[in-house]
Amino acid sequence: MGGEAYKTADGVAKEEEVEVEEERRSGEEMVAVVDGQKKNSTVGQLPQPMKIVVVGYALTSKKIKSFLQPKLEGIARNKGILFVAIDQTKPLSDQGPFDIVLHKLSGKEWQHVLEDYRQTHPDVTVLDPPDAIQHVYNRQSMLEDVADLNLSDAYGKVGVPRQLVIKKDPSSIPDAVNSAGLRLPLVAKPLVAKSHELSLAYDQYSLKKLEPPLVLQEFINHGGVLFKVYIVGEAIKVVRRFSLPDVSKPELLKNAGVFRFPRVSCAAATADEADLDPSVAELPPRPLLEKLARELRRRLGLRLFNLDIIREHGSADKYYVIDINYFPGYGKMPEYEHIFTDFLLSLAGSK
């Protein structure tokens, strides 16, 4: 193993502090240059400088690496958008000024900081409200808005799989599943949606091996393909991803146990270029997705999220939302740099 693997926590923290300070200085210098241009220019002599949109960001190091890629920052600079790192060791109100705050951090302390900031800085757009984010971090409440919507029109029907929440006592799971009338196999997911691992339970006995708190969802055959629907404000982008393969009745009778899977929809190979049956590969109708996204933006109070959607195998128009993720991996979304920067400009322009 290389030296990188042996860095201490203090060492990593110091490096991150240096990076944050460098970005903060860079931001201040850029803003200072723009301010200087404003002071030195007069009407009729020089064109007015581009208005800088300052986006303060508080993201995990992993999210910074995947999202704030050089191409995004370059396109943003050309459009007059400046990303500035928020220093979490200093009061948020003492930093900026920001036009937009972009965040994805966990913890009640950070939630309180953001809520206070939103109250005292109503002119700053916070993406997104902490309480709205918490709603989709809980898989018990995550899909309620989709179920309540019960969307059905000429383009198709969108629902959610039948599911059951188990908070404790694994030994009670088989009886609870019977009482709820759920059919095997069942997909087991952690109740808190910060983990993307899932398990597939094939038989009643194996249900006792699961570890609550969790959500059990009926597994719906969907041709081994799911659709990741990325939403950035009003923009929608859909990509195909390989998913769990269908389970036939003979397989269900033959298999037993609990099979664990990592992040299934983040499999290395995208399904966009695969040679698939057209009935499996066809994307959900655009009008249906636009209607669904519009309703969920309103109900969830979020502008940055994605939906994992499957089409029931053998059906042309029956869809299920199986997961909702806040501020997903946009780096995997085609053309995300232009879509995201245009979104930020639209927010700044609407003030």
> 152, 192, 193, 160: which is closest to 321 by C-alpha?
160
On whether both 285 and 339 belong to a single domain, the answer is no
Mean per-residue pLDDT, 272-292: 87
Q: From the annotation, which residues make up the binding site?
A: 63, 104, 139, 189, 196, 217-228, 243, 308, 323, 325, 329
In a shared domain, residues 337 and 312: no
**How high is the pLDDT of residue 341?**
98
Asked if 205 contacts 256 with a C-beta cutoff of 8 angstroms, the reply is: yes
Residue 207 located in a structural domain: yes
- Work out the burial of residue 203: count CB atoms within 10 Å of its CB; fewer than 13 is exposed, 13-18 middle, 19 or more buried: middle
194 domain-assigned: yes
Q: What is the mean pLDDT of the chain?
A: 85
Q: What is the mean pLDDT of residues 237-256?
A: 90
Q: How confident is the model at residue 43 (pLDDT cuts 50, 70, 90)?
A: very low
Number of domains in the chain: 2
pLDDT, tens digit, 9 for 90 and up, residues 132-190: 999 999 999 999 999 999 999 999 999 999 999 999 999 999 999 999 999 999 999 99
Feature table: binding site for 1D-myo-inositol 1,3,4-trisphosphate: 63, 104, 196, 228, 325, 329
Structure tokens at 11: 């060492």
Quick one: what percent of the chain has pLDDT higher than 70? 81
**DSSP H or E stretch at residue 295:** helix 286-300
pLDDT in tens, 334-350: 999 999 999 999 999 87
Q: Quickly list DSSP for 2-31.
A: -GGGG--HHHHHHHHHHHHHHHHHHHHHHH
Report d(CA 110, CA 104) in Å as an integer.
10
Site of tokens 């042996």: 6
What gap in Å lies between CA 36 and CA 28, rounded to an integer? 12
Report d(CA 310, CA 290) in Å as an integer.
16
Q: Are residues 163 and 303 in the same domain?
A: yes
Mean local confidence (pLDDT), 225-236: 96
Same domain, 82 and 109: yes
What's the half-sphere exposure (Cβ side, CA atoms, 13 Å) at 99? 18
Taking each continuous run of H as one helix and of E as one strand, the counts in the chain are 12, 15
Which of helix, strand or coil describes residue 250?
A: helix
198: β partners? 261
| Cβ count within 10 A of residue 313 | 16
The pLDDT value recorded for residue 274 is 66
Which ranges in the chain belong to alpha helices (H)? Answer: 9-40, 61-67, 70-78, 108-120, 130-137, 139-142, 144-149, 173-180, 249-254, 278-281, 286-300, 336-349
pLDDT score of 59 more than 60: yes
Q: Are residues 123 and 255 in the same domain?
A: no
**21 assigned to some structural domain:** no
Residues 227 and 258 in one domain: yes
Q: Are residues 259 and 222 in the same domain?
A: yes
Residues 6+ apart with CB under 8 A from 289: 229, 236, 238
Q: What is the pLDDT of residue 41?
A: 38
Does any domain span residue 25? no
Residue ranges of the binding site for ATP: 139, 189, 217-228, 243
Q: What one-character DSSP code corresponds to residue 138?
A: B
CB-CB contact of 332 with 241 (8 Å):
no
**Same domain flag for 56 and 178:** no
10: pLDDT strictly greater than 60? no
Work out the angle at residue 234's Cα, subtended by the Cα atoms of residues 232 and 239, and round it to the nearest 5 degrees.
55
Query: Whole-angstrom Cα distance, residue 345 to residue 207?
Result: 49
List residues forming the annotated binding site for Mg(2+): 308, 323, 325
pTM, 2 dp:
0.83
pLDDT at 71: 97
For the domain that residue 225 is a member of, what is the CATH number? 3.30.470.20
* Closest CA relative to residue 53, chosen from 117, 18, 102, 89: 102
Residue with structure tokens 């629902």? 159
Would you state the pLDDT for residue 17?
Answer: 47
Q: Is the pLDDT of residue 198 over 70?
A: yes
Q: What is the pLDDT of residues 60-118, one digit of tens each?
A: 999 999 999 999 999 999 999 999 999 999 999 999 999 999 999 988 999 999 999 99
Domain of residue 84, CATH code: 3.40.50.11370
| Domain extent at residue 103 | 50-128+333-350
Query: What is the spatial distance between Cα 165 and Cα 213, in angstroms, rounded to a whole number?
Result: 8
